[in-house]
Chains A and B, each alone.
Chain A
Amino acid sequence: SAVISQKPSRDICQRGTSLTIQCQVDSQVTMMFWYRQQPGQSLTLIATANQGSEATYESGFVIDKFPISRPNLTFSTLTVSNMSPEDSSIYLCSVEGGGIPDTQYFGPGTRLTVL
């Protein structure tokens, strides 16, 4: 299974600023996913990031608010722009792959608090 790390693990930010979250995988993967998990809620998919193409965003999420980069097969970033307290959440990246098709492996998450 893939080993995924995320930076930062947590942050406290001021309203109106932006934060970039990094996701690093120990092997090359085609598909990477970014999720949001609001307090007490389940995971909601923000976007799918494939290397060499624009990210595909889910309904309710837009590129201006959550720009994503995918410069190579082991790395991706998610930026949360112009933050408001409603953006306080855990942000998780995941990758598909490993021994069982269609399964996903998740990073530890980034806990974001916006004041």
Chain B
Amino acid sequence: SQKIEQNSEALNIQEGKTATLTCNYTNYSPAYLQWYRQDPGRGPVFLLLIRENEKEKRKERLKVTFDTTLKQSLFHITASQPADSATYLCALGGATNKLIFGTGTLLAVQP
């Protein structure tokens, strides 16, 4: 069955450093991969989408890579800030418009 794995443990980093979150998947060939941010008590908020034919996508301080050979995506937040502290979810999608979500990684940026 399809499986998506994200760093199960919380990621603690110092303000100003680059946070790197990992999303690995098996038994799936997604057409695209997305990253969402979720704050406590709120619904996920879309951040970035990268398609299977793209290697890298950037948006302001965010960068996502997608390696379909390794079946892995890396999500980077540069110059991290305490306000970046949240749970980050990766999600895979294909032709059916349905998304399969990973378990999320809790990021804590210390001032």
| Partner-B contacts on A (CB < 8 A) | 1, 4, 31, 33, 41-45, 48, 58, 92, 94, 96, 100, 102-109, 111
Contacts and interface: CB of A to CB of B under 8 A. Distances in A.
Given A43-B101, A45-B98, A103 B42 contact: no
A78 B102 CA distance: 23
Chain B contact-residue range equals 10 to 19
B73 interface: no
Contacts of B89: 42-43
Interface in B74-111: 89, 93, 97-104
9 contacts: A33-B99, A42-B101, A43-B89, A43-B99, A100-B46, A102-B97, A103-B46, A108-B41, A109-B42
Contacts of B22: none
B109 to A, nearest CB: 21
B81 to A, nearest CB: 23
Contacts of A100: 46, 49
Q: Is chain A's binding surface mostly helix, strand, loop or mixed?
A: strand
A33 B99 CA distance: 10
Contacts of B44: 43, 92, 106
B97 A96 contact: yes
A112 to B, nearest CB: 13
Q: Of residues A43, A100, A108, A111, which shows the largest number of chain B Cβ atoms within 10 Å of its Cβ? A: A43
The list of the 8 closest CB pairs from A to B, nearest first, reads A106-B43, A43-B101, A42-B101, A42-B103, A103-B46, A106-B44, A109-B43, A92-B43
Q: Of residues A4, A102, A109, which shows the largest number of chain B Cβ atoms within 10 Å of its Cβ? A: A102
A100 B35 CA distance: 13
Contacts of A105: 46
Contacts of A33: 98-99
Contacts of B100: 45
Contact of A103 (B34, B98, B103): B34
B10 interface: no
Contact of B49 (A42, A103, A111): A103
